[in-house]
Amino acid sequence: MRSYLFFLLVFILILSKVKAQNTIDTTFNNVKVYELGEVVVSESILEKSVTQSEMQKLNTIDVANSISILPSATLVNIGARNESTIYLRGFDLRSVPVFVDGIPVYVPYDGYVDLARFTNSDLSKIEISKGYSSILFGANTIGGAINLISSKPTEKLEINLKAGLLTGKGYSTSANIASKRGKFYFQAHFSKFNRDFYKISRDFDTTKNEMDWKRDNSFRNDDKISVKVGFTPNSTDEYSINYVFQHGEKGNPIYLGDDASVKIRYWQWPVWDKQSVYFISKTTIAEKSYLKTRFFFDNFKNTLKSFDNDSYSTQNKNYSFTSYHNDYSYGSNIEIGTELIKNNVVKIAGHYKYDLHRENNEGEPIRHFADNTFSFGVEDIFSLGNQLKLIPGLSYNLRNSIQAEDYNSSSEVISMYPENKNSATNIQLAAFYQFTNHLDLSFTVAHKTRFATMKDRYSYKLGIAIPNPDLKSERALNYEWASKIKINDKFIVEPAVFYSKIDNTIQLVNNLQEGLYQMQNTGKAEFYGADISIYFQILQNLMFNANYTYIERNNITNADIEFTDVPNHKFFAYIDYFPVKKIEFVFSSEYNSDRFSTSYGTISPEFVVFNTQISYIFAKYFKIQAGINNIFDKNYTLIEGYPEEGRNFYFSLIFNLKK
């Protein structure tokens, strides 16, 4: 760790000797935010975001890698399912739901979503809330929220085309065509990312299960289409219809670690498809009030094939199967806001969401599971003078089980689980104080909840668990003290300290029956730590961004069961340098300390990786990018036994026209 920081410091000092120039060119980074997709909390200190500009600078192709550059956000590649996910301050995606333009898109069955399937070229920014998040998001935001906000056009004609090649016989393409004509706007987007394999570091010792450095069964293919049509009758009102389609295919690289208890899986997903249709509107009422509505339908289809061996051609053994999931959700939320009360901005929101999950293995009947969820909340931004704001929030959430079918494979009989319901109340308060133009302080406290998912309540966990339909919601009390210190326009520091007390946590209870366990509301835990972000414009053409996170997670109920996937220490930094107007150089690095990969103590070791990218605008509308990730070909893992990508290269050509 010391040598890493020394290397980074020396690099900054070398660049800082260069004569300052006004050389920054933002021609290719100017993306308009789709305001209808925002869930506004009022104070930026309470939220963090990744802009499209940063995604381009750091070549973060998907949402998971984009979010991971933020403080308190940890990237995890779930090896057993080859899924990319994010932990925020120790909370996983079941507790930090994912939204697109404020529309919930997490999978109904287990609350997760594979963020690697979400490419980001059509996004304007990704906004995250940690611990404290707006009541306006609705239910299940016990650990925060992630909102993927799309873009919208501002010119009569906008064309952005990108084509690239990368290591592993991979390529990526995207096309965005948009137009704003008078009161109407239109946008169409297509992207494709395809790769045959990724290369492991040459420091990896090959085994009988991985004979070379081309990672077996690591292919992926992701297609995305989105269309947006909008109407703005005046300066305050807006109406928009959106459609998003995603198709994914992926392999699942096998386990290569030393844990004898881990069974090798020969899995592939020929189908990972998701499509969403949603309407969003905002209408001003009598100048000081507004009505905002969202209506949505979201469909998810998933096919998983488990094969006999690494030929991926036969399914004859008892662990081989083909599994189908076919889910959909629909719902709406209505938000009313008013400033009629002096010094107050009151917002009231109601949410409804219906979830249907259908599953079966090939040759078995389809089982149906359905829930509906209601949420009613109120939030107020109360200004006490020019310096102090209080933002209290209160919500009541209700989840009802509509249908849940149990299947006995021996008798081939489908029966019904008993109906169940659960309600929960969330209450929170944020205090925001601006001492001067150079110092902002905030304190937040939030009592938040998460309903048990369908998987929590009904899964047999491949035959080793007893379902528990009556699981109640988990609860957390989240505290945060944060500050934004603006020493001057060129040097900004944002520290934060946080603490979460979690109870009613859903944890497994062993030997409820011989050889079987059950998920029960027995757990208590605490998460605490601190993070800090630094922005430093060293010269007019040289910027330095860095963040550090420290986090501890203690299992109070059972100290022998370790929390997994989150390191105690994480450091990320990048340098953005323009030697001349048309050339941009970015150098980034990340350090993660050890982390547990299993609850019984398997460890994924610490690592440091370095990346670089250079961009050159060689003509009026044309730009090229080339980069190297993992420059020193580090052999490392995020999950023990699943080596990450070694040194890899990419090259892209970009065309950008706005007129």
Tell me the mean pLDDT in the region 528-533.
Answer: 97
Residue type, 201: S
What torsion do the CA atoms of 314, 641, 564, 461 make, to the nearest 10 degrees?
20
> What does residue 567 show for φ and ψ, rounded to 5 degrees?
-75, 155
Helix, strand, coil abundance in the chain, percent, nearest 5: 5, 60, 35
Q: How confident is the model at residue 287 (pLDDT cuts 50, 70, 90)?
A: confident
Whether the pLDDT of residue 9 is over 50: the answer is no
Phi, psi of 102, deg, nearest 5: 80, 0
State pLDDT tens for residues 325-373.
Answer: 999 999 999 999 999 999 999 999 999 999 999 999 999 999 999 999 9
Largest CA distance in the chain: 79
**Angle ∠(403,409,411) on CA atoms, nearest 5:** 95
Q: Is the per-residue pLDDT at 12 higher than 50? A: no
Structure tokens given for 390: 């209080």
Whether the per-residue pLDDT at 463 is higher than 80: the answer is no
Q: How many CB atoms lie within 10 A of CB 438?
A: 12
Does residue 10 register a pLDDT over 70?
no
DSSP 45: G
Beta strand 421-436 pairing with 413-416: unpaired
Q: pLDDT by residue (tens digit) across 409-431?
A: 888 889 999 889 999 999 999 99
- How high is the pLDDT of residue 45? 61
Q: What is the mean pLDDT of residues 110-118?
A: 92
Environment class of residue 258 by beta-carbon count within 10 Å: exposed (0-12), middle (13-18) or buried (19+)? exposed
Tell the CATH topology of 2-658. Maltoporin; Chain A (2.40.170)
The β-bridge relationship of strands 267-285 and 289-306 is: antiparallel
Pairing between β-strand 465-466 and β-strand 516-539 as defined by DSSP bridges = parallel
The per-residue pLDDT for 43 is 58
pLDDT at 32: 85
- How sure is the predictor about 31, in pLDDT bands with cuts at 50, 70 and 90? confident
DSSP character at residue 629: E
Closest CA to 459 of 413, 415, 517: 517
* Range in 217-221, 381-385, 541-545 with the lowest mean pLDDT: 381-385
Question: Is residue 446 exposed (0-12), middle (13-18) or buried (19+ Cβ within 10 Å)?
Answer: buried
Q: Is the pLDDT of residue 567 over 60?
A: yes
